[in-house]
Structure 1
Amino acid sequence: MEGHIIVCGDDPLGLRIIEQLRTAGREIAVVFSSSELNDAGIAKAAALICADDDDALNLEIALLARQLNPDVRVVARLGNSVLREAVALGNGPGAILDVADLAAPSVVEACLSRTTHSISAAGIEFVVSGTDAPRSATLREIFGDLAPIAVVRGENSPTPGEVVACPGRDVGVSEGDWTAMIGTAEELVAQGISVAPPVATTVEVGHHGARGYHQHRRKPLKRVLDAVRAFRDDVNPNFFKAFAASMALLLGATVLLRYSFNDAPTGMTFIDALYFSAETITTVGYGDFSFIDQPTWLRLFGVGLMFAGITSSAVLMAFVADLLLSRRIAQNAGLRKVRELQDHIVVVGLGTFGIRVVADLKAAGHDVVVIERSPDNRFLSSAAELDVPVIFGDATLPATLDSARIDDAVAVAVLTQSDMINIETGIVLRERLGARWKRSDTTPGVPVVLRVYDRALGAAVSQRFGFENVRSTVELAAPWFIGTAMGLQVFGTFSVGQQSFMVGGVEVAPGSELDGLRMAEMSTQTRVIAIARGPGNVQLHPRRDTQLFAGDTAYLVGPHRELLDTLHKGQRVTA
């Protein structure tokens, strides 16, 4: 073989990459260790994709492949940020990618109910944003020359929920259909489509936590009220009874000594009586007052007062110790911090992907609470650096959800590494949230984002249980690995409904299938948003009769399978 692609990885991402490459008609070889590289033809391969979930294996194969063939495009998956940065320096052709970096923005946008995606291509900041169709008409009549990306059919359509990818401008829509368009921010605003500001993201996530976020500050009065409520919740209810008994003992002894203690010539004042009662109850006995010269009954009262004082003091100290201990445990478990939050986002699962989503949400200025099963999770230190409370427990249990104050949350992201756990948790959340589960005319709803690796399973779960935000990290990340391995420019991926889209660019090679092709002859599920014909010469939204020529760089958007096929045609030289 020559010019083939070698793939390493038997997890869902690796299998998805292999499936898509075979569908695209590319020759591939699969390896499972570095010792198989020579037999797989590394010397003549066009690219190597290391997509296993084992960083050590990916690193070993990538480094050895670079030694065996300095010109091969090496695309490696590395979750460790330190290794990723070190290997990326001087890597040569290819890229070092992290699945969390590629897929986290889509989850963050879903948590924030954002419909705006910003993607830079051809030196232009393109914006994908959507709105409900205000009336029944064609897309051209409503939005002019804006490029439509997708239409999600609404309740007034014969096929509600259907996603139409890259429809033509003359496609008709019904009132209420969700329409996603792409253009510059100015073009979208001119057509009445609102453009949200970009979400702040972290600069770095890994061993050193994240930088670039700011913490939401509560008002002073709110902090005081939260502190009072936290104290009330932490204190054992019997503490107040014991405290009241101690105060009654102190005040009773003070009044009795004030009127019964014989201290010539004037007896005791109230201050003296209070002072003597306090030192007797606490058994301090400084020697400035004494029962030695008092009547027998008063001396016996003093004995009883000392025993009662020891008992009440011991009980109070026990409650104080319990309070301090419970507050410490609560703080270590994140419970106290959760009480101080409002309008927070709950993230279930603190893995490589989860910590990246948490960091991005913090960077966007949102309070976050994490639910994690394992107290030995290696990302706990990163969560601590982000000042994110962690609740340990099973997210399907009511007690755990109560601890995370799920009823006060504005969004939930379920991101564990198990599809079954994520689906089960999503079903429990659907029942718990009740009427807040979905958006309506009167409530914005609580977005519940589920990470489901298997694309087909995710689609089935979405349809069966009504989940609106199912995200497959495999589906979002695979196009980056494949596109980069094929020598293409991948600028971003995003989701509309349950459909994943990709933005990419390809330089049209002489004699390729794209050389001389008119826009009207392009795939019906891809759209050319710009053509660069040279430095500073960029044509936006080309017309149907516009042709591509060798040397042009075409920037396209569409479902990634069709888009990768179109991008590949730009490199394929016809016979």
Structure 2
Amino acid sequence: MTSTLPIRTETGQRAQHMVICGDDGLAHRLAVELDGVCGEIVTVVLPSASDEHGARIAELHRDPDSPVELHVSARPDERTLKAAGIQRAAALALTYRDDQVNMTAALLARTINPSVRLVVRMFNRERGRHLERLLDRAAGLCDGPARDTSTTVLSDADTAVPELVAAAAVGHGHTLQVEGKVFRGVVRAAGAPSQATDLATLAVLSGAHQDDPASQDSAETPGDDGIQLLPDTRTAYHRQFTHGRLMLEEVTHQPAEPDNRARRLRPRGWLRARLAHLPWKVFLSHQLAAVYGALAAVVVGLSTATALFADEHPWWKNVYLPLLDIFTMGDPATDEPVPRRVLQLLAGFVGLAVLPMVVAATMNATDAFRTASASHPPDDDVNGHIVLVGLGMVGTRVLARLHATGHQIVAIERDIHARGATLARQLGVPLILEDATAPGVLELARVRQSRSLLVLTRDDGQNLDIVMAVRETNPQVRVVTRLYDDNFAATVQRTLRASYPDALTRSRSVSALAAPSFAAAMMGRHVLGVMPVERGSLLFTCVDVAGHAELEGRSVHEAFRENEWRVLAVGAAAGPLPDSSGGDSLTAPRPDRTDFDWRPAQPRVLRAGDRVVLATTRRGLDILMTGVPPRR
């Protein structure tokens, strides 16, 4: 059974029709991103209109300024897709939590509309790559006008990692990654000097300072001119003393000195040092001592009884024979005296009772020894590091990214078999295999001396417990936590920032982190990312200069258009345009090496063989792509 809320007349300059099919918070977040930030017409297909996500979409639908439609259907079959308008849609996003449902719907959508741009959420990366190649090949075989019919497969983990890493390493700010370089939008307060890493002024904000450029609750003063996206140099210079400004900054990091635990150990004496640090004391636990003490008492008792009632052997046999009987290793005492046979039976029954306890205690001690041996707590002189809690799917990729960029890390994971625990040992990263909520574990990770804390476990309650404990221990540490519930994440962030106004706290849900990448992919492969700025937004694109009259034959200075677009980087147009299948938030995967110049000289003339990275408004992008300014 399907139903659709009444469709309203499209308004404004919205031109593209986007369809979203999903069953969780990502569908809602993506609809908000496409509607409020990107200005697209959106139809959302959900299994129910009565749940939390359906109610939010219905609320958007009732907003007269938001032409968002809600279509209710149990599954994305052919009838549902056609009712949602897939025939005329420019893009379709399939964000169900079931890979099989997404695959089936993607194949069906490609059959109904071969020119539709597909963005598919897949948890199995290998299967996603095969699906992407298959659907792109199917689109290429279809006749029709040349259009961007790309298929992009994304996963939550891939899209969340860059934002989490950027938040922990360099603070807040949306990130952009091109050819291995990372950039972010950073706010400079009114009067604050520019930094050497600043590349361009993206916007002049409406207030003197904003902690988060994506916030819409900035206080505008009477007579204020409001936000201005992509201002000219003169405006940016004069308003920098009275207004905050959003700068594009290149993220750089000096690699850590080679003084971590793995490098400090010299080949000579390595084995001796390793043995000295092994946790031998686990074999002296109270449990193990009690079990083996009981076993020793039983052996002494049986040896005494053997000596008293069956003393036909040397004294050492009085101990040796009971031990064989307990472990059921002796021969039947059929030819022995009656007391000896009785004692053998008694020893056998005692062995049945004691041996399981001995085995269990020994295995527990061995497992504890193995776990403790795998742990490598940080040295006492470690400071200024990043504490990473949780080495699951997302945590493992965050660990790899942080290590690749030279950051010093201390990892905490309670599961010795977690996929990230093996990687941490291979990389020589200090690893604590304990529950982060247990007393003393955070202190062992030297969280007081750290500069950032990343909490990425699968339990929202546990994440909040860790954050609150760390806030009491180190109120100034930068905290970034991943929460699954979007409303809960927003509430936690507001509360912690109100309680600790001088500390940086970022709480993000997976859907909030993933939505910008899905939105960028739906808008086409030429869009590298979308950056919300107060009530507006900026888009980052990578295009070839050839064929664009607004760019070709003009200098970098002449190609700039105030409030429309700005050239950020210039490179050679070699290889295909970058696409967004790599999954990085606000990124595209690394294209064929173009060697962009991110500080191009203003007199440099753009030629047909050049490729440029642009920051544009939505209106500016429409002009560049079509050559015709959209109607206001």
TM-score range, shorter chain: 0.5 to 0.7
Contact map agreement 1:282 1:310 (CA 8 A) in 2: no
SS for the counterpart of 1:570 is: helix
Tell me which residue corresponds to 2:196. 143
Matched with 1:450 is 482
CA deviations on 1:153-180 (whole Å, 9 max, x unpaired) are: xxxxx9695659999885879xxx9998
Residues 1:571 and 2:628 are matched in the alignment: no
Q: How many residues in Structure 1 have an aligned counterpart in Structure 2?
A: 479
Alpha-carbon distance between aligned partners in 2 of 1:491 and 1:163, rounded to the nearest angstrom: 19
Is 2:168 the counterpart of 1:105? Answer: no
Distance of aligned partners of 1:544 and 1:88 in 2 relative to their CA distance in 1, 3 Å threshold: same
Query: 1:432 maps to which residue?
Result: 469
* Whole-angstrom CA distance in 2 between matches of 1:518 and 1:486: 27
Partner SS for 2:438? helix
> What secondary structure does 2:118 align onto?
strand
Q: CA deviation at 1:477?
A: 2.3
Tell me if the contact between 1:281 and 1:308 (Cα under 8 Å) persists in the aligned partners: no
> Relative to structure 1, is the Cα distance of residues 248 and 381 closer, same or farther in structure 2, using a 3 angstrom cutoff?
closer
For residue 482 of structure 2, give the secondary structure of its aligned residue in structure 1. Answer: strand
Matches within 5 A, 1:66-465: 66-92=110-136, 93-94=149-150, 95-108=152-165, 121=178, 125-128=180-183, 138-139=193-194, 142-143=195-196, 146-147=199-200, 161=211, 182-183=249-250, 194-196=253-255, 220=271, 221-222=273-274, 225-233=277-285, 235-242=287-294, 245=297, 273-280=315-322, 282-283=324-325, 317-324=355-362, 326=364, 337=371, 340-343=374-377, 347=389, 354-361=392-399, 370=413, 383=419, 401-402=437-438, 405-409=441-445, 411-416=453-458, 422=460, 424-433=461-470, 435-439=472-476, 447-452=479-484, 454=486, 456-457=490-491, 459-464=493-498
* Alignment check: 8 A CA contact 1:223 1:340 kept: no
1:471 equivalenced with 2:508 (yes/no): yes
Partner letter of residue 320 of structure 2? A
- Answer yes or no: is the 8 Å Cα contact 1:531–1:554 preserved in 2: yes
Question: Whole-Å Cα distance in 2 between the matches of residues 151 and 567 of structure 1?
Answer: 20
* Structure 2 match to 1:540: 598
Q: 1:571 to 1:130 in 2, by over 3 A?
A: closer
Q: What SS does structure 1 have at the residue aligned with 2:629?
A: coil
Displacement of 1:323 after TM fit?
1.2
Cross-structure match for 1:22: 35
Alpha-carbon offset, residue 68 of structure 1: 1.9
User: Structure 2 length normalisation: TM-score?
Assistant: 0.56
RMSD: 6.0
SS class of match (2:135)? coil
**Residue 115 of structure 2 aligns to a residue in which SS?**
coil
- Matching residue's letter, 1:143: A
Q: Deviation of residue 361 (structure 1)?
A: 2.6
Q: Distance in 2 between matches of 1:479 and 1:35?
A: 29
Seen in structure 2, the aligned counterparts of structure 1 residues 492 and 274 have a Cα distance that, compared at 3 Å, is farther
Give the C-alpha shift of residue 84 in structure 1.
0.9
The amino acid of 2:629's aligned partner reads T
Q: Deviations over 1:5-29 (max 9, x none)?
A: 2222353222222223333333333
Alignment partners' CA distance in 2, 1:182 and 1:401: 36
User: For residues 528 and 449 of structure 1, do their structure 2 counterparts lie closer, same or farther at Cα, with a shift above 3 Å needed?
Assistant: farther
Task: Note if contact 2:619-2:629 (Cα within 8 Å) is conserved in structure 1.
Answer: no
User: Conserved in 1, the CA contact under 8 Å of 2:395 and 2:420?
Assistant: no
Whether the aligned pair in 2 keeps the contact of 1:369 and 1:388 (CA below 8 Å) is no
2:93 partner SS: strand
Per the alignment, residue 529 of structure 1 pairs with: 568
CA distance, structure 1, for counterparts of residue 498 and residue 552 of structure 2 = 41
Equivalent AA in structure 2 for residue 321 of structure 1: V
Kindly provide the amino acid, as one letter, of the partner of residue 540 in structure 1: W
Deviation string 1:340-391 (CA, Å, 9 cap, x unpaired) is: 313496655x9xxx4243355368777866569xxxxxxx9984995899xx
Change (3 A) 1:250 1:478: same
Structure 2 vs 1, CA of residues 60 and 107 (structure 1 numbering), >3 Å: closer, same or farther?
same
1:486 to 523, 534, 543: 523
In 1, Cα distance between the equivalents of 2:530 and 2:34?
Answer: 18
Q: Give the deviation of 1:544 after TM superposition.
A: 7.3
Gap runs ≥5 in structure 1: 153-157, 198-213, 293-298, 373-379, 390-397, 440-444
Deviations 1:98-120 (Å, cap 9, x if unpaired)? Answer: 22211123335556779999966
TM-score computed with the length of structure 1 as normaliser:
0.61
- The one-letter code matched in structure 2 to 1:26 is E
